[in-house]
Amino acid sequence: MALQPTLRPFILGNPAAPHTLDIFLDYVCPFSRKMSNNLNLTVKPLIERGGKYDGKVKAIIRQQVQPWHSSSTLVHEIALAVARVSPEKFWEFHLALMNGQEDFYDIPSSNRTPTLTRAKLIELALPIVGEDKREALAELISHKSTPNGGTAVTDELKYTIKFSRQNSIHVSPTVLWDGLVASEISSSWGEKEWTTFLESKVLV
């Protein structure tokens, strides 16, 4: 599947690998958190350097913004900002954001303005990307000078949303194998299920 070049940090494994897992996740979805942690333990070691499927399978993390959660746009913005300023730290931050998602659920977020939520997200990122990235992160997720111009990562956010819409992705998590929905894949899959799936799909 295609991917805008600025989103390359969202790729796990060799970008040139012929097989692709497109994994649509939302940062305030508990099932996306479960899938992310299982991917980290099972799939990531298999497809990265030295793994059994190194050079054969890549995974692309696709952002699936769920607008019925008020903070969903904001948490996806910070992921894009981290990918921009510290691409090598993206996956570490991805896991931290997933595992800290309860702070950004509907009720906790209801008592904060978007500006305060963005500030809280920057604080979540700084232990991973470094204090020296504070200003760069803040600049990327701050509103532009025009009243309705979005932020510096809005264009990338639009890309991810348009990609989901044109591929009729509705729920998170959703996984595609080589461009087709693999409905059998579950967020609860562990080593046994992922191993069996990959062995059946990667034949050479």
Domain ranges of the chain: 5-201
Assigned CATH for 5-201: 3.40.30.10
CA angle 162, 166, 169 (to 5 degrees): 95
Per DSSP, the three-state class of 17 is: coil
pLDDT of 23 above 80? yes
pLDDT of 16 above 70? yes
Per DSSP, the three-state class of 41 is: helix
What does the alpha-carbon distance between residue 130 and residue 112 come to, in Å, rounded to a whole number? 25
Determine contact, residues 30/175, Cβ cutoff 8 Å.
no
For a pLDDT cut of 90, what percent of the chain falls above it?
A: 96
> Residue 145's pLDDT is what?
80
What does the alpha-carbon distance between residue 82 and residue 88 come to, in Å, rounded to a whole number? 9
Give the residue among 2, 3, 6 at the shortest CA–CA distance from 153. 6
Per DSSP, the three-state class of 7 is: helix
CB count in 10 Å sphere of residue 131: 8
- pLDDT band, residue 1 (cuts 50/70/90): low
End-to-end CA distance of the chain: give it in Å, rounded.
20
How confident is the model over 152-168, as a mean pLDDT? 96
Determine contact, residues 12/87, Cβ cutoff 8 Å.
no
76-103 per-position pLDDT tens digit: 999 999 999 999 999 999 999 999 999 9
Sheet containing 174-177: give its strands across: 11-12, 57-63, 19-25, 174-177, 180-181
